[in-house]
Protein backbone atom coordinates (compact mmCIF):
# COMPACT_ATOMS: atom_id res chain seq x y z
CA UNK A 1 0.00 0.00 0.00
CA UNK A 2 2.70 2.59 0.82
CA UNK A 3 4.28 1.92 -2.53
CA UNK A 4 0.94 2.33 -4.32
CA UNK A 5 0.25 5.60 -2.43
CA UNK A 6 3.63 6.99 -3.36
CA UNK A 7 3.11 6.01 -6.96
CA UNK A 8 -0.31 7.61 -6.99
CA UNK A 9 1.18 10.81 -5.62
CA UNK A 10 3.88 10.86 -8.31
CA UNK A 11 1.30 10.29 -11.05
CA UNK A 12 -0.90 13.13 -9.78
CA UNK A 13 2.11 15.48 -9.68
CA UNK A 14 3.12 14.53 -13.21
CA UNK A 15 -0.42 15.14 -14.43
CA UNK A 16 -0.47 18.55 -12.79
CA UNK A 17 2.86 19.48 -14.47
CA UNK A 18 1.56 18.37 -17.86
CA UNK A 19 -1.59 20.39 -17.31
CA UNK A 20 0.43 23.53 -16.63
CA UNK A 21 2.58 23.35 -19.78
CA UNK A 22 -0.11 24.28 -22.33
CA UNK A 23 -1.17 27.19 -20.16
CA UNK A 24 2.40 28.48 -19.97
CA UNK A 25 2.84 28.07 -23.71
CA UNK A 26 -0.47 29.84 -24.29
CA UNK A 27 0.58 32.81 -22.15
CA UNK A 28 3.92 33.02 -23.94
CA UNK A 29 2.20 32.89 -27.33
CA UNK A 30 -0.30 35.54 -26.26
CA UNK A 31 2.50 37.80 -25.05
CA UNK A 32 4.39 37.29 -28.29
CA UNK A 33 1.27 38.15 -30.31
CA UNK A 34 0.71 41.22 -28.14
CA UNK A 35 4.25 42.44 -28.70
CA UNK A 36 3.93 41.81 -32.43
CA UNK A 37 0.64 43.69 -32.54
CA UNK A 38 2.11 46.67 -30.68
CA UNK A 39 5.16 46.69 -32.93
CA UNK A 40 3.03 46.55 -36.09
CA UNK A 41 0.74 49.33 -34.86
CA UNK A 42 3.70 51.51 -33.98
CA UNK A 43 5.24 50.93 -37.41
CA UNK A 44 2.00 51.86 -39.14
CA UNK A 45 1.54 54.96 -37.00
CA UNK A 46 5.07 56.26 -37.54
CA UNK A 47 5.03 59.24 -39.94
CA UNK A 48 7.03 59.21 -43.15
CA UNK A 49 10.11 61.43 -42.64
CA UNK A 50 9.91 64.70 -44.60
CA UNK A 51 13.07 63.82 -46.54
CA UNK A 52 11.45 60.60 -47.73
CA UNK A 53 8.18 62.35 -48.56
CA UNK A 54 9.97 65.03 -50.55
CA UNK A 55 12.04 62.43 -52.39
CA UNK A 56 8.89 60.44 -53.21
CA UNK A 57 7.21 63.52 -54.66
CA UNK A 58 10.32 64.38 -56.66
CA UNK A 59 10.30 60.85 -58.03
CA UNK A 60 6.60 61.18 -58.88
CA UNK A 61 7.48 64.34 -60.80
CA UNK A 62 9.93 62.31 -62.88
CA UNK A 63 13.11 63.94 -61.59
CA UNK A 64 16.11 61.81 -60.66
CA UNK A 65 16.99 63.53 -57.38
CA UNK A 66 17.66 66.85 -55.65
CA UNK A 67 20.98 67.23 -57.45
CA UNK A 68 19.17 67.27 -60.80
CA UNK A 69 17.45 70.59 -60.05
CA UNK A 70 18.69 74.08 -59.13
CA UNK A 71 19.08 73.73 -55.36
CA UNK A 72 20.30 75.74 -52.36
CA UNK A 73 22.86 73.14 -51.24
CA UNK A 74 23.32 70.38 -48.66
CA UNK A 75 21.96 72.41 -45.73
CA UNK A 76 18.42 72.19 -47.09
CA UNK A 77 15.83 69.52 -47.80
CA UNK A 78 12.83 69.16 -50.10
CA UNK A 79 9.57 69.55 -48.24
CA UNK A 80 7.11 69.24 -51.16
CA UNK A 81 6.75 69.32 -54.95
CA UNK A 82 3.86 70.98 -56.80
CA UNK A 83 2.72 70.76 -60.43
CA UNK A 84 1.12 73.55 -62.45
CA UNK A 85 -2.38 72.35 -63.39
CA UNK A 86 -3.23 75.57 -65.25
CA UNK A 87 -1.06 78.61 -65.64
CA UNK A 88 0.05 81.58 -67.72
CA UNK A 89 2.97 83.96 -67.86
CA UNK A 90 1.72 87.45 -68.79
CA UNK A 91 4.04 89.79 -70.67
CA UNK A 92 3.66 93.54 -71.10
CA UNK A 93 4.86 95.61 -74.00
CA UNK A 94 7.85 97.79 -73.17
CA UNK A 95 7.00 101.41 -72.43
CA UNK A 96 9.97 102.83 -74.32
CA UNK A 97 8.16 102.81 -77.64
CA UNK A 98 10.42 100.08 -79.08
CA UNK A 99 7.48 97.81 -79.88
CA UNK A 100 9.11 94.90 -78.02
CA UNK A 101 7.98 92.84 -75.05
CA UNK A 102 9.51 93.48 -71.62
CA UNK A 103 11.71 90.68 -70.32
CA UNK A 104 9.81 90.05 -67.09
CA UNK A 105 6.47 88.29 -66.80
CA UNK A 106 3.73 87.92 -64.20
CA UNK A 107 2.63 84.39 -63.28
CA UNK A 108 -0.94 83.30 -62.66
CA UNK A 109 -1.20 79.61 -61.91
CA UNK A 110 -2.91 76.90 -59.90
CA UNK A 111 -0.55 74.30 -58.41
CA UNK A 112 -1.39 70.88 -57.04
CA UNK A 113 0.93 68.88 -54.82
CA UNK A 114 2.17 65.51 -56.02
CA UNK A 115 0.78 62.57 -54.00
CA UNK A 116 -1.64 64.93 -52.25
CA UNK A 117 -4.62 67.21 -52.88
CA UNK A 118 -2.98 70.31 -51.40
CA UNK A 119 -3.11 73.33 -53.69
CA UNK A 120 -1.20 76.59 -54.04
CA UNK A 121 -2.09 79.81 -55.87
CA UNK A 122 0.96 81.28 -57.64
CA UNK A 123 0.71 84.91 -58.75
CA UNK A 124 2.50 88.26 -59.05
CA UNK A 125 5.26 89.15 -56.64
CA UNK A 126 6.10 86.37 -57.25
CA UNK A 127 3.95 84.87 -54.50
CA UNK A 128 2.77 81.41 -53.54
CA UNK A 129 -0.23 81.12 -51.22
CA UNK A 130 -1.41 77.87 -49.65
CA UNK A 131 -5.11 77.39 -50.29
CA UNK A 132 -5.26 75.17 -47.21
CA UNK A 133 -4.18 77.73 -44.60
CA UNK A 134 -3.36 81.02 -46.34
CA UNK A 135 0.36 81.01 -45.53
CA UNK A 136 2.28 82.91 -48.24
CA UNK A 137 5.87 83.21 -49.44
CA UNK A 138 7.37 85.95 -51.61
CA UNK A 139 10.27 85.14 -53.93
CA UNK A 140 13.36 87.31 -54.28
CA UNK A 141 14.17 88.48 -57.80
CA UNK A 142 16.38 88.24 -59.73
CA UNK A 143 16.67 84.50 -59.05
CA UNK A 144 19.66 82.97 -57.28
CA UNK A 145 20.07 80.55 -60.20
CA UNK A 146 18.72 80.49 -63.74
CA UNK A 147 19.20 77.54 -66.09
CA UNK A 148 18.22 78.27 -69.73
CA UNK A 149 16.13 75.62 -71.49
CA UNK A 150 15.53 75.59 -75.26
CA UNK A 151 12.02 76.51 -76.36
CA UNK A 152 10.70 77.24 -72.86
CA UNK A 153 11.19 79.47 -69.84
CA UNK A 154 14.28 78.68 -67.72
CA UNK A 155 14.54 76.55 -64.62
CA UNK A 156 15.07 78.77 -61.56
CA UNK A 157 16.06 78.83 -57.91
CA UNK A 158 14.57 81.69 -55.91
CA UNK A 159 15.19 82.63 -52.32
CA UNK A 160 12.22 83.48 -50.13
CA UNK A 161 12.49 87.11 -49.08
CA UNK A 162 9.32 87.34 -47.01
CA UNK A 163 6.55 85.35 -45.38
CA UNK A 164 3.02 86.76 -45.29
CA UNK A 165 -0.32 85.76 -43.86
CA UNK A 166 -0.90 83.24 -41.07
CA UNK A 167 1.59 80.57 -40.03
CA UNK A 168 1.08 77.32 -41.87
CA UNK A 169 2.23 75.03 -44.64
CA UNK A 170 4.67 77.51 -46.22
CA UNK A 171 6.02 79.15 -43.07
CA UNK A 172 9.34 77.25 -43.05
CA UNK A 173 10.01 77.41 -46.81
CA UNK A 174 13.32 79.13 -47.64
CA UNK A 175 13.74 78.49 -51.40
CA UNK A 176 11.67 77.57 -54.44
CA UNK A 177 12.94 75.76 -57.55
CA UNK A 178 11.05 75.99 -60.83
CA UNK A 179 11.76 72.93 -62.99
CA UNK A 180 10.37 70.83 -65.86
CA UNK A 181 9.10 73.93 -67.63
CA UNK A 182 7.14 74.03 -70.86
CA UNK A 183 5.87 77.03 -72.84
CA UNK A 184 5.62 80.44 -71.23
CA UNK A 185 8.06 82.11 -73.64
CA UNK A 186 7.56 85.80 -74.45
CA UNK A 187 5.88 86.62 -77.78
CA UNK A 188 8.15 87.60 -80.65
CA UNK A 189 5.73 89.74 -82.64
CA UNK A 190 5.80 93.56 -82.38
CA UNK A 191 3.55 95.12 -79.75
CA UNK A 192 2.12 98.48 -78.81
CA UNK A 193 2.59 100.27 -75.48
CA UNK A 194 0.13 99.10 -72.85
CA UNK A 195 -0.53 95.77 -74.54
CA UNK A 196 -0.31 92.52 -72.59
CA UNK A 197 -0.39 88.89 -73.58
CA UNK A 198 -0.85 85.80 -71.42
CA UNK A 199 1.16 82.77 -72.56
CA UNK A 200 0.25 79.29 -71.20
CA UNK A 201 3.02 77.42 -69.40
CA UNK A 202 3.70 74.34 -67.33
CA UNK A 203 6.23 73.67 -64.58
CA UNK A 204 6.94 71.92 -61.32
CA UNK A 205 7.82 73.85 -58.17
CA UNK A 206 10.08 72.33 -55.53
CA UNK A 207 9.83 73.84 -52.03
CA UNK A 208 12.85 73.74 -49.72
CA UNK A 209 13.35 74.19 -45.98
CA UNK A 210 16.42 74.14 -43.76
CA UNK A 211 17.62 70.62 -42.98
CA UNK A 212 17.14 69.74 -39.31
Report d(CA 23, CA 1) in Å as an integer.
34
Q: How confident is the model at residue 6 (pLDDT cuts 50, 70, 90)?
A: very low
Tell me if 92 sits within 8 A of 196, measured CB to CB. yes
Gap between the Cα atoms of 120 and 133, Å rounded: 10
| Helix segments in 46-131, DSSP class H | 50-60
- Could you tell me the pLDDT band of residue 153, with boundaries at 50, 70 and 90? very high
Map out the domains of the chain as residue ranges. Answer: 1-46, 50-210
Cα–Cα distance for residue pair 107/52, rounded to 1 Å:
30
Lowest mean pLDDT among 6-10, 143-147, 164-168: 6-10
Query: What is the distance between the alpha carbons of residues 25 and 3, in angstroms, rounded to a whole number?
Result: 34
Q: How confident is the model at residue 207 (pLDDT cuts 50, 70, 90)?
A: very high
pLDDT 10s digits, 97-110: 899 999 899 999 99
pTM, rounded to two decimals:
0.75
Residues 6+ apart with CB under 8 A from 132: 118, 119, 168, 169
**How far, in Å, CA of 156 to CA of 17, rounded?**
77
The answer to whether the CB of 168 falls within 8 A of the CB of 135 is: yes
Report the pLDDT averaged over residues 163-172.
Answer: 97
Amino acid sequence: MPDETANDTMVRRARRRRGLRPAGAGVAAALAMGVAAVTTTAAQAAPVPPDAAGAAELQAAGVGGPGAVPNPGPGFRITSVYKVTSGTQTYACATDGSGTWAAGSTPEAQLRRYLSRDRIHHYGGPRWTSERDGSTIVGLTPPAQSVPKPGTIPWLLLEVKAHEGPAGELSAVTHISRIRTSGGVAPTRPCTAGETQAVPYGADYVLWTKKR
